Chains A and B, each alone.
Chain A
């Protein structure tokens, strides 16, 4: 392989291995139901079988309903708060940003279990406020939507606030100078400018919620609500297994996600809302004046519900001797944290496994993401559309589908060596799922760099690889690092594919917590979860600090 083909070659192989292989096997298994025994008979039989099942319609419609519900509710919370944060000088703005990051870092299934312990009959909330009955509300489709919303709405909040802060007020001021009233300036200038950010973040909320397994997995069995993800998990992980059925449902889920993505692209594509010229602009935020108190009260309320309640419920369980003992000082204990250090070093090995896997994922996804975006944005090589597509496709792939694909692909006797049943399969899964983060961040950074830097270096005789290493890498490094930190945080708590793929003898933090819950040691599980959440919050803040930019 000559020098010029080396980097594209490596990138291409990495993308094939990480993305194309698992996806192709899901498609193959869906089409050929007997693929697992090596027979290519009865093509599409699984489709007809699954489509004929009476519960499919409900599975499908509930999934869409939940997705739309979460998008709608995330909008109702995220857009007003984001607008207030973006347009006005909010006291303690950075603090609110950090607080709203927490639900995003809290693994969804732990959030769901915390909500359950807080809101069910005799839960923590009722122990404090006996007349408040929220049990039936929690165990319903609406309850599921609200719990998911409280996990997901920060995506909308951050997108809207950043977009409004960057473009909104300056142009709205121009409108005001030309005689528009404050409401008119907002509705005719600020709002339309932020529309693409709203649309894309709402659609992101939609896809995040239809891909989610933790919340329906935790709340669903009690409320009798099944979604596509729980349906896939049940077919795959409960005896007797149904691989072709799981593959067909997986493809349906991917199809919904891809539809959402194409709607998003269509909404965003037609609009040019570029307001940044590259010249430094002074962003002035308006003062809230008399509205300060009500606005702060609103932010406090949302923080109390979305952040404080689940975290307190988690901590209360971690520090409680017994669940039946309820909230009381005599029930206070450190026993569960002690248990983490006993138990044959199990908890500690789970922590170190998760951290090393997360580090490995950050390095591999970072390197692959950097190369892929460089080849697409800067080098514009042949086949860059394919590279771009493959590197962003996992954003539309639910974790469970990647898990299915990796089992189908690697658990075969024809491979001379296979990563299946070693920790490497988890690394493959995480890298696939999280690849879009570095690709998005680095591409955006590369697009801001003028082409003449690259050209100048090439004129002076630098090879492509040298230009990348010496010129472009230092320039995009802050973005790359931030995205790698994000990858690290998410990988260190990933649950769904870990549950499916963890080999015997290997436990990650999330699997450890899940198994503790499964065995009735809720307190031990919550103690581990508290440690993990604290750790990922610390890392996230470190990432933000290293990037020396406001939270984005």
Chain B
């Protein structure tokens, strides 16, 4: 009986579907998959989780890779995979209107999120204007932050802050720690206590999750700090190991088509193409942290230092 069930499962698993691994909004991935399937007739199997989990799965499967297309929430992960030689070179014709900073020969942004402070307007605290405000006594034990080892975008913020401010950034993290800031799992787990009012603000929340909450009627506000913030372009890439490179390329084309980019905008992300409208502030209007003066800090070092500071190791 077991053998029979197994062979049935085999048959079911070998259908010609495209496999998409994605961090970020699952509903967006589903909509892109549905739109692409409608256009091409190719089914898309989606595995959606946090960046850390998506990358872990990719890593675990390296002997026998499964993913065709990968959408990460951290630009850094794409750079890393390119260095390993895992990526297929592809430039979509639809990537034309994507600004040069958001594409390379190997990967291109699907959309862009920014990091900010998410503040509960009913928390009885004054509205924070900059990162440092969250280290003030008013926010004692009232701040959460996503775990950078799980959330790619959150790690991008740490790297951005360190590149911009070097030692000053670590002073800020130490002050926040001393003020009782806690690390609370991936993005949403850091947001949930703020929604209910157990905490007052998230340090470095991904904006699109919060905009979606605001749309649902939650009393929170997304604040982009005055000293600047980091944006997290979400790279899309095709794995070199993919058996279905033609379909994978077509998927990238679809995600970058006006129709696909409209779906991206509907998920409260900034579209990667400059010719698509969004219902939220675009990166042109955001004050960004200055570029790194020397070589960018390595993600591993930043992660380890941060984890040590917050006693996770």
Residues of chain A having any CB pair with chain B under 8 Å: 13-14, 17-18, 36-38, 55, 117, 120-123, 135, 221-222, 224, 236-241, 243, 321-326, 343-344, 346, 360, 363-364, 367, 407, 411-413, 417, 419-424, 427, 502-506, 515, 517-522
Chain B residue, CB-CB nearest to A415? B64
Top-7 shortest CB links A-B: A505-B45, A424-B9, A122-B197, A239-B55, A520-B188, A504-B47, A422-B13
Bound-state CA distance A324–B12 (Å) is 44
Besides the contacts A120-B193, A325-B217, what 19 more A-B pairs have beta carbons closer than 8 Å?
A13-B2, A55-B313, A121-B198, A121-B199, A122-B198, A123-B196, A224-B312, A237-B57, A239-B59, A239-B149, A324-B120, A364-B2, A364-B5, A411-B61, A504-B47, A504-B66, A505-B19, A520-B209, A520-B213
Q: Could you mark each residue 63-87 of chain B with 1 if its beta carbon is under 8 Å from any beta carbon of chain A, else 0?
A: 1101100000000010000000000
Q: Could you mark each residue 114-150 of chain B with 1 if its beta carbon is under 8 Å from any beta carbon of chain A, else 0?
A: 0000001010000000000000000000000001011
**Sample of 15 A–B contacts (CB below 8 Å):** A36-B63, A121-B197, A122-B196, A224-B312, A241-B59, A241-B60, A324-B197, A364-B2, A413-B63, A417-B10, A424-B5, A506-B45, A519-B27, A519-B209, A522-B188
Residues of A within 8 A of B122 (CB): 324
A323 contacts B195, C-beta separation under 8 Å = yes
Question: Min CB distance, A16 to chain B, in Å?
Answer: 11
A221 contacts B185, C-beta separation under 8 Å = yes
Residues of A within 8 A of B312 (CB): 224
Residues of A within 8 A of B48 (CB): 515
Residues of B within 8 A of A419 (CB): 6, 9-10
Residues of chain B having any CB pair with chain A under 8 Å: 1-2, 5-10, 12-13, 17, 19-21, 25-27, 30-31, 34, 44-53, 55-57, 59-61, 63-64, 66-67, 77, 120, 122, 147, 149-150, 182-189, 191-193, 195-199, 209, 212-213, 216-220, 311-313
- With A122-B198, A346-B30 already in contact, the answer to whether A37 and B63 are too (CB < 8 A) is yes
Bound-state CA distance A239–B58 (Å) is 9
Bound-state CA distance A216–B220 (Å) is 28
Tell me what chain A mostly uses at the interface: helix, strand, loop, or mixed.
loop
B212 contacts A322, C-beta separation under 8 Å = no
B53 contacts A237, C-beta separation under 8 Å = yes
Residues of B within 8 A of A517 (CB): 188-189, 192
B66 contacts A421, C-beta separation under 8 Å = yes
Residues of B within 8 A of A518 (CB): 49-50, 186-189
**Contact partner, B52, options A117, A239, A367, Cβ 8 Å:** A239
**Contact partner, A237, options B45, B56, B77, B218, Cβ 8 Å:** B56
Bound-state CA distance A224–B19 (Å) is 35
Question: Min CB distance, B150 to chain A, in Å?
Answer: 6
Question: Min CB distance, A45 to chain B, in Å?
Answer: 19
Bound-state CA distance A100–B105 (Å) is 60
Question: Min CB distance, B197 to chain A, in Å?
Answer: 3
B26 contacts A519, C-beta separation under 8 Å = yes
Residues of A within 8 A of B12 (CB): 422-423
**Contact partner, A504, options B1, B46, B51, B209, Cβ 8 Å:** B46
